[in-house]
Structures are given as C-alpha cells and as structure tokens.
Structure 1
Amino acid sequence: MLLSPAEKQYLYDSLSQSSVIRPDSRSIHQYRPLEATTSFLPGSNGSARIRLSDGSECLISVKSKVVSIDPDASKDNLSNLIDVDVDIVGYRDDSNYITNLKFQLINLLHQNFPHLVLQLTSRYAFKLFIDCIIISHSSYPLSLISLATYLALKTTRLPLLVSDPNDLQVAEYPTFSDDWDNARTIEEILVDKQIGTEFKPPIFITIGVVGKNLLFDPSVEEEQVLENGVIVSFYNNKVITPIANANFAINSNNSNFKGLNKTVLMKCITLCNQYCPAIVKALDTLIEQEGDQNDESIF
C-alpha cells in the first residue's frame, strides 16, 4: 500500500517523536503477530511455515542428500554443505532482489553453522538444501525467511547412520536405518558428537531507523518513511557479523533515506542483545508445544 505525501508526513512525525506511535500500536521492540507450523511436509527432512498478520506467508523445506567430501578437507571447507534457494512470487530468480536475499542467507549459515554435524564418514556427508518460498509479502521479507528457516532447521531430522564411519580403506557407501523413528535432530547429533549441547540457528532481525528511534520489524507503511534500515545477525545469544543497512522500501519512493551513524548502530546492537533472546525463546517454545497443537501463535 502506497501512502500519499500527507500520510507519509503524518506517519513520520508519529514515529520520530519521543513517544513513538506506530500504526498498529506495537511497541518499538515488538514483532507483528505471527502463526507458525513445523514438520508439515512429509517429503522433507524439516519444514516450517510462517504467516504474518498482514497476510505475508513463507514456506521452508529442508532436504538432505549424501555427497562425497575430501577426507583431508579442513572444517572450513565443509561450509559448502548448505545450499539455499529463494523463490518469491512475482520476482525473477535472477533478479538482484532475489540474489541479494539468497546471498545474505547463505553467508549467514556458512559462517554460523556447526557443519561437523553433517559429516557422516571420512568420505561422505549430508548436504542440506533449504528451499524458501514466499507466497505473499508486503514488507522486506528477510527476517520472515530467517525465522522460518530457524524453525525448519531446528526440526530437521537426519537418518541414523548404521555403517562404519571409518571408510577410508573401504569402498562402501553409507547405509542408514530403515526406521524413521531412529532419525535424529541436528541438536541430538551435536550432543552425540560432543560438539555442543544445543543447536540454535542464526537469525536476521530487521530494524527501521526514524530520527533517534529504532523500530523492530517495520511494516510496509513504516518502511516508506524510514531514514534507514538495519539488518542485524543474531547467533548464540549475541549479535554477530554481518550487520548491514538497506532501504527496505523497494516498491515505493522513500525520500527520507539518510546515512547511518555509529551511535544508531551501537543502539541497534544493544537492543538486539536485549530483546532477541526472547524471540528465540518464543520460537523454541513453539517447537516444544508442536506435539500438542500444530498451529501456534507467538509474540
């Protein structure tokens, strides 16, 4: 929805004053209400669907495939075991918009994922293919995709390896248990391999800047009057790199767009460290309650 000049000015004034008044009455750190479902695609190792109150909807499917790896490869060379594809209705797959979203997601996961959990044997590993489909959206969808990817990866289950993991001297392809009940989540594999105790995928948080005020999860109306947009990465209960700025209002002319100073950037980091753990906890709570009810409203 495009706003008239008068509507933009009124909204800008409402968002830039000391007591922020957002169009939907949210607080500055509050996300829009959303509904999420996990593990609903029987042909996928993991899946999730998120629907926002404005009608935006994102589907994520995670599938695994056994691929060969270099036995002498370092841990860093295992980062190519994750591939991401983004499809948004109404956009070409080779458009700059899609390419930029895909790059940001791949870059975040390549740098902040326990890739050793995907290694099966000395010569083989799982490769994860994450397919992101945006059925409808109005505001910048990166955070929406990121939260859905978090849910899908947290509920991803991988078959149990039953063959010998030490196969350097044996020309043997990995074999797995036929019982899907023996499949394990990434967190369970993480614990078994003594790499860590919990698995929390990285997420992106989008923050709008208006004057001295910062707005979590800006709506499509708010995006049209923002002075800047900040994309913050959050992983392991802290803000990490990359941190980037962007103009979220891609479908309208935003004449308010300005540069970003370090004071605003530090404030973004502080707010994310303060409020993002609650976002991650809400997502984890949904997964824990999934056995009782498939559709859960969070935030």
Structure 2
Amino acid sequence: MQLSLPELSYTRQSLTAFEPPIRNDGRSIDQLRALSGQVNILPGAHGSARVKWGSTIEVLVGIKAEVGDATIHGGTFQASVEVSPAVTIQNRETDILPSSLTSSLQDVLDTLPVDYLKFTPSRAWVIHVDAIVLLCAVPNENIISALSLATSLALQTTRIPKISTPNVTEMVLGSSKFEPSEEYDVDSEWDSALPLQGLENLSVIITASSIDHVLVIDPTVDEANVAQATYAVGVLPDGTISYTRTISMGGGYASTGRAITGERYISLVKAASVAGTKLLEASKSLLTFEGSGFFDILP
C-alpha cells in the first residue's frame, strides 16, 4: 500500500531527527530482521533450504542435479524462481516478478566455478536451482536477500553423485589423434556423493539505504521510500563485495534532493559487508542443526 506524504515524512523524521534513530519495527539501523531456516527438507532433492526473513517473507529452494550437455566452460547452474499464487493472485501471466527474481538469482549463481562439473567432452552436471516465494506479505518487499541466503544454504547441503570415467582413449580412424572416452558410470550410493565446489564465491545479498545522514541495513519498504538511494550489495563469506546494484523497492519519495556522495556510498557498502558476514557466519549453525522445525539464525 502506498503511504501518504505525511506518513512518509513521519518515517523519515523518526530516522533522522533522533539519536539513536527510531525504526518502526524497533530494530537498530544496522540490524537485519529476525531470520530462521530449515535445510534438507525436500525428499528426492540433492539439497534444499527454507528461509523465513522477518514476518513478511518466506522462500523455499530445492537443488536438482542432472546429466546434460557440457558447455565450453563445463557444467551449468540454472536458476528458476516461481511465485506462489498467494503472493500474486492477479495478472500472473504478465507479472514480471518471477522473471526479475530469476535473473537476479542467476547473476549470483554465475559467479560459481563450473569447470569441475564436466566429466566427459560432451557431458556435464546441470545444477537446477529451483525456488518458490511462499510468502511476501508486503508488496515490493526485499525478496532477493531471502532467496540468496536460502540458495547458499541449499547449495551447501547439496551432494551430487560420484562419476567414474574409464581411463581409456579412442583412436580416431585415419589419424594418430586420441580423444577421451564418452563413457561414464554414475555411483548411486549417497555415501559416495560429493559436495559442490567453490561456494566461497557465492554471495548473500544485503540491502542498504541512505536516508540523509543515516545508513539503514535491510530497509523496509517504507524506509526505502524515503531514501536517497537503496542498494543491493553482494557479500562473500570473507566480507569481500562481489557487486552492488541500485534497486527500487518503493514509490520514490526522496528525503532530500541531494544525491548520495562517493564517501557515503563507501560507508553504505562497508555497513552491508559487516551485516553480510555476520549473517553468513550465523547461518553455519543451521547446517549442523539436528532438531526438527525452524532454527533461529538471527533471533
């Protein structure tokens, strides 16, 4: 729902006129929403994770590996995001949300190495990353952060069957050239399955807004509506920034006419990096959680 100008003004004043700033949900300006999750919840999937981001967003990610055509780079990661009818009921045929989220998630996956997924000259693993948005209670809410975390957790739980290839070559008739064999065997034993590689290159997406002199991590839609700029920041496990992108989560009411400065931008990115590394570190506990139900990643 679009807020009125007085409501937007109240949101801005709460953040900029007080020390410390006052957020409508009670969080500090550098605090992410409460997060919880589950892993290994989809039978038959090679990996899976479910994440609740605050009280307004819930996503589910499943990983499925299949043998497909190799590319010049090796195997592939393929993203697909669907949105539950409970999220968008009308005009689903023309709704751009699934395609937009799919594109954003694919950008995250494209940073992963794929050369090791190739096991014959023409065959390789194709890793399908299929996600569904189960809940988005507020229109234009920040879904990509939840998707990136759920994808990271699902890929860390993923195991792919071990492939064996015969140590032979085939002679090409009429020449002395030898080529690798296209033969391979798939080991169906789960105990022999192998984890994915290069996940240290996978980002979690943290959003951050600049509202006058205040930097806000994981802004709500109302907060993003009064910001000069809101960015999606990709954060690697070591705190390195993989990318930043300007995003729009609201109606465009700016708190002032001033543009964000370079110094301000650097401060915003650093704040997102700190939040991202804390989140990734906290999420490791979920991977070893042996109980049932949701695990509180960030209470």
3-state DSSP of counterpart to 1:30: coil
- Contact 2:217 2:272 survives alignment (8 Å): no
- Contact 1:208 1:218 survives alignment (8 Å): yes
Aligned to 2:7: 7
User: Could you tell which deviates more after superposition, 51-60 or 32-41?
Assistant: 51-60
User: Could you tell which deviates more after superposition, 4-13 or 21-30?
Assistant: 4-13
Return the alpha-carbon distance in structure 2 between the equivalents of residues 134 and 109 of structure 1. Answer: 18
* 1:183 equivalent among 174, 193, 201: 193
The question of 1:152 aligning with 2:154 is answered: yes
Change (3 A) 1:52 1:154: same
The question of 1:274 aligning with 2:274 is answered: yes
Structure 2: tracts of 5 or more residues without a match:
170-178
Return the alpha-carbon distance in structure 1 between the equivalents of residues 65 and 244 of structure 2. Answer: 29
Return the alpha-carbon distance in structure 2 between the equivalents of residues 120 and 261 of structure 1. Answer: 49
Computing the radius of gyration over CA atoms, which structure comes out larger, 1 or 2? 2
Change (3 A) 1:179 1:147: same
1:58-207 paired onto structure 2 within 5 Å: 58-69=59-70, 73=72, 77-78=73-74, 81-89=76-84, 90=88, 92=92, 95-110=95-110, 112-137=111-136, 138=138, 139-164=141-166, 168-172=179-183, 174-186=184-196, 190=197, 199=200, 201-207=202-208
3-state DSSP of counterpart to 1:57: strand
The question of 1:256 aligning with 2:254 is answered: yes
- Contact 1:232 1:244 survives alignment (8 Å): yes
Return the alpha-carbon distance in structure 2 between the equivalents of residues 113 and 6 of structure 1. Answer: 46
Aligned to 2:210: 209
The question of 1:238 aligning with 2:236 is answered: no
- Contact 2:207 2:272 survives alignment (8 Å): no
Residue by residue over 1:126-148, the C-alpha shift from the partner in whole angstroms, topping out at 9 and shown as x without a partner, is 11111121122122211111111
Return the alpha-carbon distance in structure 1 between the equivalents of residues 144 and 115 of structure 2. Answer: 26
- Contact 1:35 1:52 survives alignment (8 Å): yes
Deviation at 1:121, TM superposition (A): 3.4
Letter of the 1:185 counterpart: P
Change (3 A) 1:202 1:166: farther
Letter of the 1:4 counterpart: S
Deviation at 1:234, TM superposition (A): 1.2
User: Could you tell which deviates more after superposition, 161-170 or 203-212?
Assistant: 161-170
Residue by residue over 1:154-185, the C-alpha shift from the partner in whole angstroms, topping out at 9 and shown as x without a partner, is 1111112234377744342x322222222122
Deviation at 1:93, TM superposition (A): 6.5
Letter of the 1:52 counterpart: W
Return the alpha-carbon distance in structure 2 between the equivalents of residues 222 and 161 of structure 1. Answer: 50
Aligned to 1:193: none
Total equivalences in the alignment: 278
Aligned to 1:298: 297
Aligned to 2:172: none
The question of 1:287 aligning with 2:293 is answered: no
Greater fraction of residues in helix: 1
Cα RMSD between the aligned structures?
Answer: 2.4
Letter of the 2:51 counterpart: I
Percent of residue pairs identical: 24
Aligned to 1:39: 40
- Contact 2:70 2:124 survives alignment (8 Å): yes
Deviation at 1:260, TM superposition (A): 3.5
Deviation at 1:201, TM superposition (A): 2.2
Structure 1: tracts of 5 or more residues without a match:
191-195
TM-score, scaled relative to structure 2: 0.83
